[in-house]
Amino acid sequence: MVNQLLAARSAGQVGIKWPENFPWFELVHRTIEKYGIAEEDVYNFDETGFQMGVISGGKVVTGSDRRNRRKAVQPGNREWVTVIQGVNAQGWAIPPFIIFAETYHLSAWYEGNDIPQDWTISLSDNGWTTNELGIKWLRHLDKHTKDRTVGVHRLLIIDGHESHDLLDFQQLCKEKKIITLCMPSHVSHLLQPLDVGCFSPLKDAYGRQVEDLIRNHIYHVTKLEFLPAFKAAY
């Protein structure tokens, strides 16, 4: 876009060192210096979604006996699950925060699945993040990072979701000495490593778990199958 603007003004193109002058990176640098934030105290988080019975784009779970019966094919369970995942700049991960589309917790989800106790499972009407769950995740972040904090402040890189702009969210950040920096619009796919660097292989690994279920003649993936499959992929 910048090159197009420059070309329209007959001003050539940006140089190879142009990204070094991008104000965002200078803002990060100044913020880290201002608050004395250690590398160990820098965090980024993002959310990603899973359709329980979908291996990948265009693939669904269905019986092999239905392969040539186009009208009879029933798609796999496309119920949506959101996973909010945070990572530290030094490479370790905060326990996942999973959101199911459900009204009540069921004990059957946890029985025999050996789900780690530090994982959080929350509920929403459609399996998507809500403003209230954004606050709950922030408390989840604080719980699992406060004892590992090296300095006084933590830096949290956010992507501008509306829940991050809520007064309650920002007040809780202030209370917990968490400094937030919002990435510029339309560049999170370039600045944020989680989406491509982590979520893509995670979804590939989950797809392989679903394929294993198919080989064992399990064609409808529910929450009972999702949790151990996601745990193995994670």
Q: What does DSSP assign to residue 15? A: -
pLDDT over 80 at 115, yes or no: yes
Distance CA 195, CA 19 (A): 21
Among 64-78, 93-107, 108-122, 155-169, which stretch is predicted with the lowest mean pLDDT? 64-78
Domains present along the chain, CATH in parentheses? 40-56+73-233 (3.30.420.10)
Listing DSSP states for 91-140 in one string gives: S-BPPPEEEEE-SS--GGGTTTT---TT-EEEEESSSS--HHHHHHHHHH
Q: Lowest mean pLDDT: which of 64-68, 172-176, 189-193?
A: 64-68
For the cut 90, the answer to whether the pLDDT of residue 73 exceeds it is no
pTM value is 0.81
